[in-house]
Amino acid sequence: MNKDLKFLIVDDSAFMRKVVKDMLKESGYENVHEAANGLQAVEQAAIIKPDIITMDITMPDMDGIQAIKEVLKVSPNSKIIMCSALGQKNMVLEAIRSGAKEYVIKPFEKSRLMEAIERVMYS
């Protein structure tokens, strides 16, 4: 496992960002950045070129689907994991078509997130 990976957590919920950040830190990842919406995600991705992005679907200013497309323009090597609530299956499919590599359903266990990270990094 590469502990030098750069992460960007994108979620309009500060609580969800903290939950994901804590999971990553507990797993030994230190390089973790945050964005509260799709616009911030694009700005951050252009600067830090994250290896992995966890992306919420429903956010103000720019939703996760649009953000995927824009992020991949500025950071084409970033691997995106969608984090969505149950019942957003059509949105998840749209996210995958837009370039997301994996998804996890909220609320999720730490083990599920770590499995998704492993899959996107070594697929």
Q: What is the pLDDT of residues 101-120, one digit of tens each?
A: 999 998 899 999 999 999 99
Containing domain of residue 107, as a range?
7-121
| Total count of domains within the chain | 1
Whether the pLDDT of residue 23 is over 70: the answer is yes
Q: Give the CATH number of the domain where residue 115 resides.
A: 3.40.50.2300
CA angle 64, 69, 74 (to 5 degrees): 115
Whether the pLDDT of residue 92 is over 90: the answer is no
Q: Is residue 55 part of a domain?
A: yes
Q: Is residue 1 part of a domain?
A: no
Whether the pLDDT of residue 86 is over 80: the answer is no
Q: Is residue 92 part of a domain?
A: yes
Q: What is the pLDDT, as a whole number, of residue 84?
A: 85
Q: What is the pLDDT, as a whole number, of residue 102?
A: 95
In sequence order, the 6+-apart residues with CB closer than 8 A to the CB of 11 are: 17, 20, 36, 54, 55, 56, 59, 83
Q: What is the pLDDT, as a whole number, of residue 55?
A: 96
Q: Is the pTM higher than 0.85?
A: yes
33 neighbors 48 (Cβ within 8 angstroms): yes
Q: What is the pLDDT, as a whole number, of residue 1?
A: 62
Q: What is the pLDDT, as a whole number, of residue 3?
A: 81
